[in-house]
Amino acid sequence: MAQIKVHDKNFIPYLSAAEIDTQVQRVADEINRDYSNKKPLFIAILNGAFIFAADLFKKIDVEAEICFIKLASYKGIKSTGKVITAIGLDAEIYGRDVIIVEDIVDTGKTLSQFLPQLEHQHPASLKITSLLHKPEAMIHPIKIDYLGFTIPNKFVLGYGLDYDGLGRNIKEIYQLV
C-alpha cells in the first residue's frame, strides 16, 4: 500500500483490510457472547458506518435486526446550539436491546446529543459499538462498549469514512500525512 492523494491531501496507509477484519470479528464475538439470549436491534448511523455495519452484521450469529438512520444537525429556532435529529428511525425502540453502530467517535458531540433522545424511548438496554475512537479529541465523554481501534487524533479515511465525499470505497484505512 502506497501513499494516495484524495482531493488536495495526501494519506498514508494506517490499518490494513486484514487488521480491520480481525478486530471486526473480535467485536462480533463479544456481541455474540453478550447477546446470546437476546434479539438486539442494531441502529447504524449513515453514511460513515455503512461498511462497518455490513461487515459486523454478517458476523453476528444471534437473532438480530438492523436499521439505518441519518443524523441531521440544524440550528434550533430558540436554542443557541445545534439540534440533532434522527432521520429514518422507524423501528420501535421501547423494550429493545439497542446497539448503536458508529464509524468513529471523535469529540463525542454527536452521540452525546443523540443518546438521550433514544433513552427517552425506554430501550431495555443501550450499548455502543464504534470501529474507531480518538480519545485525545474527546470533549463529551461517551462509553464505547464494543470498540474496534483506539487511534491518534489524526484525520482518517477509507472503509466507509470519507474526505469531502471521496474515499469511502477504499478497503483499508488511511491517515492524513
Could you give the residue numbers annotated as active site? Answer: 106
Q: Does 105 bind ligand 5GP (CB under 6 A)?
A: yes
Q: Does 108 bind ligand 5GP (CB under 6 A)?
A: yes
The number of CA neighbours under 13 Å toward the Cβ of 103 is 20
Q: 12: helix, coil or strand?
A: strand
Query: Of 31 and 142, which has the nearer Cβ to ligand 5GP?
Result: 142
**Among residues 24, 44, 69, 104, the one that binds ligand 5GP under rule CB under 6 A:** 104
What is the rounded distance in angstroms from the CA atom of residue 149 to the CA atom of residue 40? 23
Query: Of 31 and 130, which has the nearer Cβ to ligand 5GP?
Result: 130
Site residue total, ligand 5GP (CB under 6 A) = 16
Q: Does 168 bind ligand 5GP (CB under 6 A)?
A: no
Query: Of 87 and 124, which has the nearer Cβ to ligand 5GP?
Result: 87
The contacts of residue 52 (CB under 8 Å, 6+ apart) are: 24, 44, 101, 103, 131, 148, 159, 160
Query: Of 50 and 57, which has the nearer Cβ to ligand 5GP?
Result: 50
Q: Does 103 bind ligand 5GP (CB under 6 A)?
A: yes
The contacts of residue 175 (CB under 8 Å, 6+ apart) are: 11, 12, 13, 14, 154, 155, 156
Q: Does 109 bind ligand 5GP (CB under 6 A)?
A: yes
Of 12-20, 57-65, 92-100, 105-113: span binding ligand 5GP (CB under 6 A): 105-113
What is the rounded distance in angstroms from the CA atom of residue 41 to the CA atom of residue 118? 13
Q: Which residue has cell 487524533?
A: 153
The contacts of residue 122 (CB under 8 Å, 6+ apart) are: 93, 94, 95
Q: Which of 29, 5, 13 is nearest to 175 (CA)?
A: 13
Interface mask toward ligand 5GP for 127-166; x: CB under 6 A:
----------------------------xxx---xxx---
Site of interaction with ligand 5GP (CB under 6 A): 48, 102-110, 155-157, 161-163
